[in-house]
Amino acid sequence: MKDMLDRQLAITYMETNNVPFIEGAEYGMGVPFQGKWYYEKSMIRMIAPKITDQQIFDMETSVKAAQTEDFSEPTETFNNIANVDTAVVATLEREKKIFKGLIFTDPITNLEVDLQEYSGEDANAIINKPPLPPTSVGLNQQTSTQLGIQYFGASDSDGSIQSYFIYIDGAPYDSTTSNSYLISGLTPDTVYLIEVYSVDNDNVQSISSAVCECRTTPSSANVAPTAPGYLASTAIGTYGASFDIKGGVDSDGSVVGYNIYIDGVYKTTTVGLFPANSPNSVNITGLSPMTSYIILVKSVDDDGAESVLGITQGFTTSFPQP
């Protein structure tokens, strides 16, 4: 019992020094002594699963310097706890019960508690055990930017599983109620360390699952299509012109349209799946009379990539008719 830490001082230390802990669980664990509550080291690791050994050492040093209680001798055994709030590890809200002739052994302190005369509002303070972690975490989907994981669901000996927390590279990512999850927005050809925690209906978190070391696939570089092979005017008017376009090859997909530029400025895009030898028509409007223009056409593939080169043709709009 000499390693007991004042609970409120420990919570204040974690809040002040940005030690991450499970919110709502900090007051759900503790051992009473002389009207106050205390943590054992094992309880701190349950409340703050990511705490480091150095952080625990620093916390012990700070808290023990501030508390005055002497735990060199074992704490008293409570034979009758009618006037004591609880003598158990957890104080999370549970179903109200009345105990008759029951001896409860605290698994942390090994103290026997006689609950023969204990009843009322505090009789709901029974130990809440953390759930088991998920098992067999592995991949069920893998792309250059996504990793799909699946796992066997966990169980809780004194409740039920509410959700699962997904951690990536040691940091919280998201939560889910499913036994699978799709992680998106990842970097191609990169290793990610994925852990899954189960959370029970009292918001108590399990220890981590086994770490899944997962890698996204390399990104496949898209090959741009070639330039169109054919461009011919079909009508030149005063304020517009029409053209037929065809050709262009995409080695890793298909050509699905053409980007049209007038004097180097983007004008429009023709879109449609069509046979390579059939022309695709485009009408250009909004031009000025008796003006020379250069049309530039570039192929567009099914990945949205544009050909590096294009095909060009000069033309001049006609004189306005009276």
Q: Does domain 230-316 have CATH number 3.40.1390.10?
A: no
Which of 22-26, 113-117, 238-242, 260-264 is least confident? 113-117
Closest CA to 153 of 214, 192, 200: 200
- pLDDT of 193 higher than 60: yes
For the whole model, what pTM was predicted?
0.37
d(CA 262, CA 297): 9
When pLDDT is averaged across residues 176-192 and rounded to a whole number, the result is 92
When pLDDT is averaged across residues 130-155 and rounded to a whole number, the result is 89
- pLDDT of 75 higher than 50: no
pLDDT digits (tens, 9 = 90+) for 202-217: 788 889 999 999 999 8
d(CA 49, CA 39): 15
- pLDDT of 158 higher than 60: yes
- Amino acid in position 224: A
When pLDDT is averaged across residues 286-293 and rounded to a whole number, the result is 94
Percent of the chain with pLDDT over 70: 76
**What pLDDT does residue 224 have?**
86
Beta strands in 81-176 (DSSP E): 103-105, 112-114, 135-142, 147-152, 161-168, 171-176
**What pLDDT does residue 273 have?**
56
When pLDDT is averaged across residues 44-67 and rounded to a whole number, the result is 82
Domain ranges of the chain: 5-124, 135-215, 230-316
pLDDT band at 174 (very low <50, low <70, confident <90, very high): very high
Asked if residues 6 and 62 have their Cβ atoms less than 8 Å apart, the reply is no
Which of 53-57, 79-83, 103-107, 256-260 is least confident? 79-83
**What pLDDT does residue 119 have?**
39
Asked if residues 219 and 210 have their Cβ atoms less than 8 Å apart, the reply is no
Q: Tell me if domain 135-215 and domain 230-316 are identical in fold.
A: yes
Most confident of 106-115, 212-221, 235-244, 302-311: 235-244
When pLDDT is averaged across residues 125-151 and rounded to a whole number, the result is 83
pLDDT digits (tens, 9 = 90+) for 9-55: 888 888 888 888 877 667 766 777 666 787 777 778 778 888 887 88
Q: Which residue has the higher pLDDT, 55 or 244?
A: 244
- pLDDT of 96 higher than 60: no
In the DSSP assignment, the letter for residue 94 is -
Closest CA to 307 of 253, 234, 233, 244: 253
CATH number of 135-215, picked from 3.10.129.10, 2.60.40.10, 3.40.50.2300, 3.30.530.20 = 2.60.40.10
pLDDT band at 6 (very low <50, low <70, confident <90, very high): confident
- pLDDT of 140 higher than 70: yes
pLDDT band at 277 (very low <50, low <70, confident <90, very high): low
Mean pLDDT of all residues belonging to the chain: 77
User: What DSSP line would sit under 192-247, residue for residue?
Assistant: EEEEEEEEETT--B-PPPPPEEEEPPPPPPPPPPPPPSEEEEEEE-SS-EEEEEE-
